[in-house]
Chains A and B, each alone.
Chain A
Amino acid sequence: QVQLQESGPGLVKPSETLSLTCTVSGGSVNSGDYYWSWIRQPPGKGLEWIGYIFYSGSTTYNPSLKSRVSMTLDTSKNQFSLELTSVTAADTAIYYCARDKGSGYWLDPWGQGSLVTVSS
């Protein structure tokens, strides 16, 4: 079955760029059947969708984060990545990657999550 695993620095300084990678096993990011999503959850708070990327490289981002978000795909490593620029303490959260079938579908499975703290 498909499994996802996030990786990246756990601590990022304010104003810098947060970078995370999600490695997919048991399936291919090059599949035209799925989108690959990022979701975050600040400590003690709810879920916020960040955006997703399709196998073609096309992306859709949450309008509230669009100016700071970038997602890419590396089919040779079966990975997809997230970059969030100009981070502040408000970006401290657990970041999850997940698989999505596209507009209106559900997110499943999810990675285990990666806690990123923004602090100097």
Chain B
Amino acid sequence: QSVLTQPPSVSGAPGQRVTISCSGGSSNIGAGYDVHWYQQLPGTVPKLLIYANSNRPSGVPDRFSGSKSGTSASLAITGLQAEDEADYYCQSFDSSLSVVFGGGTKLTVL
């Protein structure tokens, strides 16, 4: 059972917009800790996609955006492309002094 809760799967057609939620609690996201997102393409290493809630590392398309509110965060992908099909993980920090991850969300591009 992951500390952060994500939907197991989401899907969308090419060109559409999808969102992935990440729900935490008062000891992690709600305590003010930032949320980060990783994209893991099939058979590859997780790659940093969004850091500190809404910032994109160099090279990440602006189709990807993140937000945080209260005890939750969201990743939005607009203009969905086939190459976006991957697993997405949120990550934060918990007051128990642990890095915590969401269980991951599998994005299927229909």
Q: Does A74 touch B at the CB level, under 8 Å?
A: no
Q: How large is the interface on A (under 10, 10 to 19, 20 to 34, 35 or more residues)?
A: 20 to 34
* Contact of A106 with B46 in the complex, beta carbons under 8 Å: no
Encoded as 1 (CB less than 8 Å from any B CB) or 0, chain A from 33 to 71 comes to 000010000000011110010000000101100000000
Q: Can you list, as one digit per residue, whether each of B77-110 has a CB less than 8 Å from chain A (1) or not (0)?
A: 0000000000001011100111111111000000
Contact assessment for B46 and A47 in the assembled complex, using a CB-CB cutoff below 8 Å = yes
Contact with A along B43-73 (1 / 0, CB 8 A): 0011110011000010000000000000000
Known: A62-B98, A108-B57. 18 other contacts (CB 8 A): A37-B99, A46-B2, A46-B89, A47-B91, A48-B101, A49-B99, A49-B100, A100-B99, A103-B93, A104-B34, A104-B92, A104-B93, A106-B34, A108-B51, A109-B48, A110-B45, A110-B47, A111-B45
Contact A112 B98, beta carbon cutoff 8 Å: no
Tell me the nearest residue of chain A to B105, going by C-beta.
A46
State the CA gap A106–B36 with chains docked (Å).
6
Is the CB–CB distance between B48 and A108 below 8 Å? yes
Minimal beta-carbon separation of B68 from chain A (angstroms): 12
